[in-house]
Amino acid sequence: MKAAVLNNINQNLEIENLIQESPKENEVKVKINFAGVCASDAHIMDGSATLPKPVVLGHEGSGTIVEVGSNVRNLKPGDRVIMSFVSNCGHCFHCRTGIPNLCSENLRIGSKLFDDTFRLKKQNNQEVYQMGKIGLFAEYSVCPSQACYPIPKEISLETAALIGCCATTGIGAIINHQNVKTGMSFAIFGCGGVGISAIQGAKLLNASKIIAVDIDDEKLEFTKKFGSTHTINAATESPIKKILEITFGNGVDMALDTFGSSGTSENALESIRRGGYAVIVGLANEGEKIQVDAVSLVRKQLNLTGSYYGTTSSHETFRTIVNACRNNQLDLNSIVTKKFPLEKINIAFNELNSGAITGRGLIEF
């Protein structure tokens, strides 16, 4: 079974022929159709995030069920599925209280399967981890059945792949925020796959203003067809000054940092109105800190939160997004601008890192 393996940080992924075990109880085998080229994979490749190695990366994708293990009753061969990079255990505190996207058992066991063992090994018998218990830069994935969400036939496998990470992360952060209201004004920092999704999430809520902020003019231009009402190039003008100007001196109701860095998060916080909401969605480098002015936080009654994988149950966000796609209220297919075969995966990540991919790139199997 061919897969792209990360053996060490700051090295190319290597296409290797791995040995794959059959699915065990509550597990399935999925033929991968598409896998997204996401910054979260790049962070692991360059060491700014950590996973044990060797590991098959790839956490955003779609596939088709080819085999089910014992006790799997909700999936069958032929089902087309969204892949979730958080498999919920169903019985921890977070699963029981309605936030299975934060499942503590999933986090504890990490890049192995729930029985604490591996399904992949090299020809020399060295065991290989799977990112998010799925590892989608591979022809097949043996994973927990909870990782798979079946989709209706009118949803394309490209759209399904994006729902697996960037669409759910960006749209969910907005529509599942407990204080969100129709007609609010938004600033979206970062216009990659998550940022464009967030813009569409804001549009879904009939936002009064959707201000896109990035440092790349081509990416800013691209956001206009998804609903941005204003664009700001933060490399040439101050986003905070400009956002205050656009909002008549008040600031936006809600700002999202979809990029993930101290600078963009601090800008997001400074661009919201008194009593407004700043949400950090993108992942900064491990250990990075943001500076918050303690007095402003109180006097301006600012709200700063994080949002992981759409804020609530990711399967529930999948359902909402699938329905919105069926009603033509969202256009995820058009976010995909480039496709690469598995053999060109290192070129795909070089292009992502250099900013050459506008929208989202997919690995096509």
* Closer to Zn ion by Cβ: residue 95 or 240: 95
Give dist(CA 309, CA 172) in Å, integer.
7
Say whether 218 sits in a helix, a strand or coil.
Answer: helix
How many residues bind Zn ion (CB under 5 A)? The answer is 10
* Closer to Zn ion by Cβ: residue 192 or 239: 192
Asked if 138 is part of the footprint of Zn ion (rule: CB under 5 A), the reply reads no
Asked if 165 is part of the footprint of Zn ion (rule: CB under 5 A), the reply reads yes
Asked if 351 is part of the footprint of Zn ion (rule: CB under 5 A), the reply reads no
User: Is 101 in contact with 86 (CB distance < 8 Å)?
Assistant: yes
Which residue of 103, 142, 302, 362 would you call a contact of Zn ion, by CB under 5 A?
103
CA distance to 108, 150, 255, 267, per residue, from 213 (Å): 36, 34, 10, 10
Asked if 89 is part of the footprint of Zn ion (rule: CB under 5 A), the reply reads yes
Which residue of 18, 38, 212, 336 would you call a contact of Zn ion, by CB under 5 A?
38
Asked if 42 is part of the footprint of Zn ion (rule: CB under 5 A), the reply reads no
Which residue of 92, 99, 290, 347 would you call a contact of Zn ion, by CB under 5 A?
92
- Longest distance between any two alpha carbons in the chain, whole Å: 65
Q: Could you tell me which residues come within 8 angstroms of residue 339 by beta carbon, excluding any fewer than 6 positions away?
A: 34, 361, 362, 363, 364
Asked if 321 is part of the footprint of Zn ion (rule: CB under 5 A), the reply reads no
Alpha helices per DSSP H over 288-344: 294-299, 314-326
Asked if 357 is part of the footprint of Zn ion (rule: CB under 5 A), the reply reads no
Asked if 95 is part of the footprint of Zn ion (rule: CB under 5 A), the reply reads yes
In degrees, rounded to 5, the angle at the alpha carbon of residue 364 between the alpha carbons of residues 72 and 88 is: 30
Asked if 157 is part of the footprint of Zn ion (rule: CB under 5 A), the reply reads no
In degrees, rounded to 5, the angle at the alpha carbon of residue 211 between the alpha carbons of residues 205 and 216 is: 130
Asked if 308 is part of the footprint of Zn ion (rule: CB under 5 A), the reply reads no
* Closer to Zn ion by Cβ: residue 68 or 103: 103
Say whether 44 sits in a helix, a strand or coil.
Answer: helix
Asked if 60 is part of the footprint of Zn ion (rule: CB under 5 A), the reply reads yes
**Strand intervals (E) in 76-174:** 80-83, 120-121, 127-130, 140-144, 148-150
* Closer to Zn ion by Cβ: residue 173 or 184: 173
Find the part of the chain contacting Zn ion (CB under 5 A) among 61-69, 112-120, 159-167, 222-230: 159-167
Asked if 279 is part of the footprint of Zn ion (rule: CB under 5 A), the reply reads no
Pairing of strands 120-121, 19-20: antiparallel
Applying CB under 5 A, the residues found at the interface with Zn ion are 38, 40, 60, 88-89, 92, 95, 103, 105, 165
